[in-house]
């Protein structure tokens, strides 16, 4: 159970939840039943091992808890803020049968911040004796893989397109949900492990992966995420129409340039990123913010907590609605027209299955439209190596060991799972690291 949010912090783009007090930490950790088979630990895709760190907190070993988190999950501080715990570790908490689950993310945040404040020793440096690995993309999957390989004494180089490490948590997750310091701490720990991060180093030319292998890297891990946003054809070409990747990045790194004071904003989409965009627009001073989605309120892909956050911020839900056209004035787009819809076939939430309800037409005045209707990998992914197998819109195909169809080339995170969570990406990076180690050890013994 998370603590309630503070709307004042949202408009300041500061952490919207207070940390647990020491009294609450002691109380929460003492509710732990110390289960023998610890289902909460099974519920964590990155193997952060909440059962262990909660036990350490319960017995006042706060530094030990901080070490457990950091050693198991290089993004342990970030995850304490962004994990959808109600679907993961807390969902499995045994005490749920009797009362509310233990506030695992709150305890994780406490221990991680304790470790930062009391400066636990940096993680051990890689001896760099086991081989050289190239990682494409320094987001959660790349960081998870790099950290695990460094622990196994590999020499790891991360090639990152941007000038900072962290992927989506760095550029897109709003500051009111993820304070900057949490990511800065996690990145610092990765660097302390001796991982080299080459910023402004996109890997995007044809055959780039093949060339890295020829240059002497023993294996390559691709974790480039999803960088191309889907757009509606009817909204193409307007200067006041954008996508959520561009919008949220602008909000995070220069929200003054947005100037949304007293403006009306329409967000198209009904998932978590649409809610992040809507709440961010409101926090930037927008007048009315509409969330327009084909799904009805009870069908929105965003979870309950996110919908509550949108309600707290007075977002106007236009659920079960479809955009039908654009209103123009001399400056370009000045509004949208739409109509309410229901589903031809119940439970099939796709545009082709929507039926318009005549007599429900609407028109709204809009100054900015943000499209939040999905993403796909960058087009460069398909040319990185000759014959690299992709499915659908550029998603890389891998086997259960996260190995692609090219021997020695592995992939994980959003570019493989199509978009999931930070903790899932870290977990896939860790599993791929283990597979890379197995692959290289097998290759050595078979020589």
Ligand X SMILES: Cc1cc2nc3c(=O)[nH]c(=O)nc-3n(C[C@H](O)[C@H](O)[C@H](O)COP(=O)(O)OP(=O)(O)OC[C@H]3O[C@@H](n4cnc5c(N)ncnc54)[C@H](O)[C@@H]3O)c2cc1C
Contacting residues toward ligand SF4, per CB under 6 A: 44, 46, 48, 50, 73, 79, 83, 85, 88-89, 104-105, 108, 423
> How many angstroms separate the CA atoms of 323 and 291, rounded?
11
- In the complex, minimum distance from the CB of residue 81 to ligand SF4, in angstroms, rounded to a whole number: 9
Which stretch of DSSP H or E encloses residue 272? helix 272-283
Q: Binders of ligand X among 89-128, rule CB under 6 A? A: none
Q: Which span sits near ligand X by CB under 6 A: 168-176, 350-358, 391-399, 437-445?
A: 168-176
Q: What does R_g of the chain's alpha carbons equal in angstroms?
A: 23
∠ CA 25-29-33, rounded to 5°: 165
Q: Which span sits near ligand X by CB under 6 A: 202-210, 278-286, 335-343, 392-400?
A: 202-210
Among ligand X, ligand SF4, none, partner that 338 touches (CB below 5 to 8 angstroms by kind): none
Using the rule CB under 6 A, is 179 a contact of ligand X?
no
- In the complex, minimum distance from the CB of residue 202 to ligand SF4, in angstroms, rounded to a whole number: 29
Which stretch of DSSP H or E encloses residue 60? none
Answer for which of 25, 80, 82, 313 binds ligand X (CB under 6 A) is 82
Using the rule CB under 6 A, is 217 a contact of ligand X?
no
Using the rule CB under 6 A, is 148 a contact of ligand X?
no
Using the rule CB under 6 A, is 223 a contact of ligand X?
yes
- In the complex, minimum distance from the CB of residue 68 to ligand SF4, in angstroms, rounded to a whole number: 10
85/373 with CB nearer ligand SF4: 85
- In the complex, minimum distance from the CB of residue 173 to ligand SF4, in angstroms, rounded to a whole number: 14
Question: In the beta sheet, which residues pair with residue 55?
Answer: none
Count the neighbouring beta carbons within 10 Å of the beta carbon of residue 215.
9
Q: Which span sits near ligand X by CB under 6 A: 98-106, 272-280, 285-293, 403-411?
A: 272-280
- In the complex, minimum distance from the CB of residue 43 to ligand SF4, in angstroms, rounded to a whole number: 6
- In the complex, minimum distance from the CB of residue 394 to ligand X, in angstroms, rounded to a whole number: 11
Using the rule CB under 6 A, is 160 a contact of ligand X?
yes
Using the rule CB under 6 A, is 69 a contact of ligand X?
no
Answer for which of 42, 204, 299, 303 binds ligand X (CB under 6 A) is 204
Using the rule CB under 6 A, is 159 a contact of ligand X?
yes
1/357 with CB nearer ligand X: 1
140/320 with CB nearer ligand X: 140
**How many residues of this chain interact with ligand X, rule: CB under 6 A?**
41
∠ CA 20-82-244, rounded to 5°: 140
Answer for which of 10, 80, 85, 136 binds ligand X (CB under 6 A) is 136
- Kindly tell me the burial class for residue 253, based on how many C-beta atoms sit within 10 Å of its own C-beta (0-12, 13-18, 19 or more): exposed
Using the rule CB under 6 A, is 147 a contact of ligand X?
no
Is-contact 164 184, C-beta < 8 A? no
**DSSP β-ladder status, 354-356 and 219-222:** unpaired
> How many angstroms separate the CA atoms of 36 and 82, rounded?
27
Among ligand SF4, ligand X, none, partner that 276 touches (CB below 5 to 8 angstroms by kind): ligand X
Dihedral, 320, 326, 328, 333 alpha carbons, nearest 10: 80
> How many angstroms separate the CA atoms of 89 and 348, rounded?
30
Any idea what DSSP says for residue 255? Answer: G
Using the rule CB under 6 A, is 139 a contact of ligand X?
yes
DSSP string covering 312-365:
HTT-EEEESEEEEEEEEETTEEEEEEEEEEEESSTT--SGGGEEE-TT--EEEE
**DSSP β-ladder status, 375-376 and 228-229:** antiparallel
Backbone angles phi, psi at 103, to 5 degrees: -75, 80
Using the rule CB under 6 A, is 15 a contact of ligand X?
no
CA distances from 219 to 49, 62, 176, 422, 440 (A): 28, 37, 38, 23, 8
Backbone angles phi, psi at 247, to 5 degrees: -65, -50
Among ligand SF4, ligand X, none, partner that 161 touches (CB below 5 to 8 angstroms by kind): ligand X
Give the distance, in angstroms, between the CA of residue 280 and the centroid of all CA atoms in the same chain.
Answer: 16
Q: Binders of ligand X among 372-411, rule CB under 6 A? A: 378, 380
Residue in this structure with the two tokens 């198209």, named with its chain if needed: 268
110/439 with CB nearer ligand SF4: 110
Answer for which of 425, 432, 436, 440 binds ligand X (CB under 6 A) is 425
Among ligand X, ligand SF4, none, partner that 106 touches (CB below 5 to 8 angstroms by kind): none
> How many angstroms separate the CA atoms of 375 and 377, rounded?
7
Among ligand X, ligand SF4, none, partner that 425 touches (CB below 5 to 8 angstroms by kind): ligand X
Select from 53, 154, 205, 22 the least CA-distant residue to 433: 154
Q: Point out which residues bind ligand X (CB under 6 A).
A: 82-83, 136-142, 159-162, 167-169, 172-173, 177, 202-204, 223-225, 227, 248, 272-273, 276, 378, 380, 413-415, 419-423, 425
């Amino acid at each position: 159970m998370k603590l309630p949010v503070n709307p004042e912090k949202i408009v300041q783009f500061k952490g919207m939840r207070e940390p647990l007090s020491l009294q609450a930490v002691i109380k929460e950790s003492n509710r732990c039943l110390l289960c023998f088979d610890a289902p909460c630990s099974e519920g964590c895709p990155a193997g952060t091992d909440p059962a262990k760190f909660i036990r350490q907190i319960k017995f006042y070993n706060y530094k030990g808890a901080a070490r457990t988190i950091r050693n198991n999950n290089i993004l342990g501080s970030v995850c304490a803020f962004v994990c959808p715990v109600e679907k993961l570790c807390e969902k499995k908490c045994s005490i749920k049968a009797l009362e509310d689950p233990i506030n695992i993310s709150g305890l994780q945040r406490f221990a991680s911040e304790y470790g930062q404040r009391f400066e636990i020793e940096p993680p051990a440096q890689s001896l760099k004796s086991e081989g050289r690995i190239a990682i494409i993309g320094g987001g959660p999957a790349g960081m998870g893989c790099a950290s695990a390989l460094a622990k196994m004494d590999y020499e790891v180089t991360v090639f990152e397109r941007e000038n900072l490490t962290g992927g989506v948590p760095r550029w897109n997750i709003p500051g009111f949900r993820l304070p900057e310091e949490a990511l800065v701490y996690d990145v610092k720990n990765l660097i302390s492990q001796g991982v080299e991060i080459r910023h402004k180093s996109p890997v995007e030319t044809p055959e780039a992966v093949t060339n890295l292998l020829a240059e002497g890297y023993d294996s390559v891990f691709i974790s480039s995420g999803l960088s191309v946003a889907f757009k509606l054809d009817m909204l193409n070409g307007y200067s006041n129409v954008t996508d959520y990747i561009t919008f949220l990045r602008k909000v995070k790194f220069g929200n003054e340039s947005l100037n949304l004071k007293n403006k009306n904003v329409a967000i198209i989409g009904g998932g978590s990123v649409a809610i992040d965009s809507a709440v961010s627009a409101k926090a930037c001073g927008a007048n009315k913010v509409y969330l327009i989605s084909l799904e009805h309120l009870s069908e929105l892909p965003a979870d309950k907590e996110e919908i509550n956050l949108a309600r707290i911020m007075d977002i106007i839900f236009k659920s079960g609605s479809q955009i039908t056209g654009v209103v123009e004035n001399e400056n370009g787009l000045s509004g949208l027209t739409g109509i309410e819809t229901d589903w031809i076939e119940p439970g099939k939430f796709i545009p082709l299955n929507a039926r318009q309800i005549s007599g429900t037409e609407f028109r709204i005045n809009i100054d900015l439209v943000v499209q939040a209707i999905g993403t796909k990998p960058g087009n460069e992914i398909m040319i990185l190596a000759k014959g690299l197998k992709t499915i659908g819109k550029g998603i890389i195909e891998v086997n259960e060991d996260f190995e692609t169809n090219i021997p020695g080339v592995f992939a994980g995170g959003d570019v493989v799972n199509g978009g999931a969570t930070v903790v899932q990406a870290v977990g896939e990076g860790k599993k791929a690291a283990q597979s890379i180690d197995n692959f290289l050890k097998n290759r050595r013994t078979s020589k």
